[in-house]
Structure 1
Amino acid sequence: MDLTGKVAVVTGSGRGLGFAYARALAAAGASVVINDIDQQVVDAAREAVESAGGKAIGVTAAVGTAAAAEELVSAATEYFGRLDVLVTNAGILRDKVLWKMTDDDFDDVVRVHLRGTFTCARAAAVRMREQGEGGRIILIGSPAGQRGNFGQTNYAAAKAGIVAMARTWALELARAQITVNAVVPVAATEMTKTIPAFAPAIEEAERLGVPLPDWMRKQEGLGTAEDAAGLVAFLASDASAAVTGQAIGIGGDRLALWSHPQEKKVDLRDGGWSADEIAAAWRDGVGAQPEAFGIPAPQQPAGH
């Protein structure tokens, strides 16, 4: 991918997946605006990109407000003259089961993930439409948003909303030649290191400096943050001009296209359905094959 001359903003890019995205974009030739809430983290990430030959500036801001979004877009245009790519990666976790989750737990996560994605995408769309040369908006989703996940009411709801926004904005921005897609990454991050089925293999791989085992990379689709970065670079490029409104999974050795919700089975009855009629027909009708929910538990092969 040749992104020479393009300018990208990557929110939450001081470390982890966001840093991997920023580094991949810079390596392909893009100038990158790095963002985090910690100035030292921003500076370290910027220096790392520059030491590898890339072009980057840093903006320390808490994503979620319109002001922060405008600051990021303005930084791109003031330092590099334009904006071509937005990657909305910033996020936080406040995991608790429903009956223990506070209003603040819910609001904080939704503010950063969902509102932050909205405000940043809005600011980017305004700038890209003014430029009149198209653009790329890449939203970061999660398997939790696709399937639900125990203890993540706030996070799953926000990530599901992000994918819905990607589909909506793909329609709204098509005439401006701005593509909008959602990336659904799976990677060995600080969060996945706590999953019992993954923790020993991740710890061993990091300690020995070896790749994660095949069963994790292929069956679970879990690899390094860098494994997810190629998809972001592709979606930022001219090669992805025809790709929009999609939710695309990436992780380890797996690349996947997520299906969009659609009616699975339809039953018709003249005059409509009463509660009793639904109950009588449910088991052998639309309810014959109910949908699964929740992220499947990792299955480590015997002998590992």
Structure 2
Amino acid sequence: MIGQLYRPIVVQTDHHSAPRFQKVELEVIAEAGYLTVCFLNTKIRPMQVTDVTAIITGAGRGLGLAFTRAILTGGGRVLMTDIDSAAVEAAARVLQQEFPDRVHSQQQDVTDLASFDAAFDAANRAFPSHPVNVLVNNAGIGNTGFYTSDTAWTNVIAINTTAVIRGTQPVVVNIASMAGLYPLKDSPDYSGSKAAVVAFSRAVGMNVNKTNVRVVALCPGFADTQMGQAVLAHAPAVVRGIGGLMTPDFVASALVLRALAEQDNSGQVLVVSKRGVTYHGRKLPAKL
């Protein structure tokens, strides 16, 4: 099965490092239950940041919307997806007034594997001259009813973990959470799902010399979003303990200026809170 993968590299601009991308032809071979990636063509095509075309899941509101605006402000293009079609369409209409022809929307249920093919098809139609080269796996949900609900936790796992793994072929950044590093006792399903995203991102990122794919997990604290406000109402001490709610734009700046721009961070976990932006744990070796 022949597919396409877009590999990020980093170059120096006048002001700061910024991501460019390399298109890689690949072959995926099913062997003993595993997927083996064989690179067929690694010709580099230098690109400016303005050439970046991204799909961002969960982009109808909150952090996904902030990530969208940050990339658009930098001159890129974004296909916004969200399970809430009304929300993502409304958000796209507002952004289109400021960034005409560079932002479109698509309804997407990330628990449906076929939805990723549909999203890429939609992006190709929207931006026919600009192939998708960034996928930000942002869609996620929270749940405080683990101990009282028999089924809600399955949706948390499906959306927060399984959908990230399904959408990982061209990934640059997986959006996790500080809860994946510091578990929330009232939300073991949410904490567990985000811990899985962290571990998955680290494991894939450690294979950078084999796959040539740079993978970073972004672990924000609580932002001033619908989900963040819900946590603040339910567990204010937890939110205060990490400095309070951040603005979504602050988290988006960490995505653009740190997670994407810094070259030697594959397999690392970038923690973002009002106390600062830093990598969690030891620095992974460049060569494994």
Would the TM-score normalized by the shorter structure come out above 0.5? yes
Taking the aligned partners of 2:89 and 2:66, their CA distance within structure 1 comes to 15
Going from structure 1 to structure 2, the CA distance change for 1:19 and 1:49 (only over 3 Å counts) comes to same
**Partner residue in 1 for 2:273:** 251
* Structure 1: tracts of 5 or more residues without a match: 125-135, 203-215, 262-304
Number of residues paired by the alignment? 231
* Structure 2: tracts of 5 or more residues without a match: 1-17, 19-47, 284-288
**What per-residue deviation string (whole Å, max 9, x for no partner) do you get for residues 27-82 of structure 1?**
11111010111222111121222222261111101111211122222323343241
**Partner residue in 1 for 2:224:** 188
**Partner residue in 2 for 1:69:** 116
Q: In the TM superposition, what is the alpha-carbon distance from 1:236 to its structure 2 partner?
A: 6.5
**Partner residue in 2 for 1:226:** 249
Taking the aligned partners of 1:31 and 1:109, their CA distance within structure 2 comes to 29
Taking the aligned partners of 1:219 and 1:91, their CA distance within structure 2 comes to 21
**Off by >4 Å, runs of 4+ in structure 1:** 196-199
Give the greater-gyration-radius structure (CA): 1
Q: Is the 8 A contact 2:146 2:187 kept in 1?
A: yes
The DSSP-based 3-state class of the residue aligned with 2:245 is coil
Q: Is the 8 A contact 1:65 1:119 kept in 2?
A: no
**What per-residue deviation string (whole Å, max 9, x for no partner) do you get for residues 194-235 of structure 1?**
425997xx9xxxxxxxxxxxxx6x961632111100121235
**Partner residue in 2 for 1:128:** none
Output the amino acid matched with 2:59: S
Which residue, 53, 63, 66 being the options, matches 1:7?
53
Q: Is the 8 A contact 2:58 2:139 kept in 1?
A: yes
Taking the aligned partners of 1:198 and 1:252, their CA distance within structure 2 comes to 17
Output the amino acid matched with 1:58: S
Which residue, 159, 166, 189 being the options, matches 1:119?
166
Q: Is the 8 A contact 1:64 1:111 kept in 2?
A: yes
**Partner residue in 2 for 1:107:** 154
**What per-residue deviation string (whole Å, max 9, x for no partner) do you get for residues 59-106 of structure 1?**
1011112111222223233432412211111012232244x241x212
- RMSD (Å) for aligned C-alpha atoms: 2.7
Going from structure 1 to structure 2, the CA distance change for 1:198 and 1:252 (only over 3 Å counts) comes to farther
Taking the aligned partners of 1:108 and 1:10, their CA distance within structure 2 comes to 20
Q: In the TM superposition, what is the alpha-carbon distance from 1:159 to its structure 2 partner?
A: 0.2
Taking the aligned partners of 1:78 and 1:176, their CA distance within structure 2 comes to 28
Output the amino acid matched with 2:118: E
The DSSP-based 3-state class of the residue aligned with 1:191 is helix
Larger strand percent: 2
Q: Is the 8 A contact 1:37 1:61 kept in 2?
A: yes
Taking the aligned partners of 1:172 and 1:69, their CA distance within structure 2 comes to 23
Identity of counterpart residues, as a percentage? 25
Alignment of 1:1-304 (within 5 A): 3-53=49-99, 55-80=102-127, 81-98=130-147, 100-102=148-150, 104-122=151-169, 124=170, 137-186=172-221, 187-194=223-230, 195=232, 220=243, 222-234=245-257, 237=260, 239-252=261-274, 254-259=276-281
Larger helix percent: 1
Q: In the TM superposition, what is the alpha-carbon distance from 1:18 to its structure 2 partner?
A: 0.8
Q: Is the 8 A contact 1:70 1:120 kept in 2?
A: no
Which deviates further from its counterpart, 66-75 or 106-115?
Answer: 66-75
Q: Is the 8 A contact 2:55 2:136 kept in 1?
A: yes
Taking the aligned partners of 1:196 and 1:110, their CA distance within structure 2 comes to 23
**Partner residue in 1 for 2:30:** none
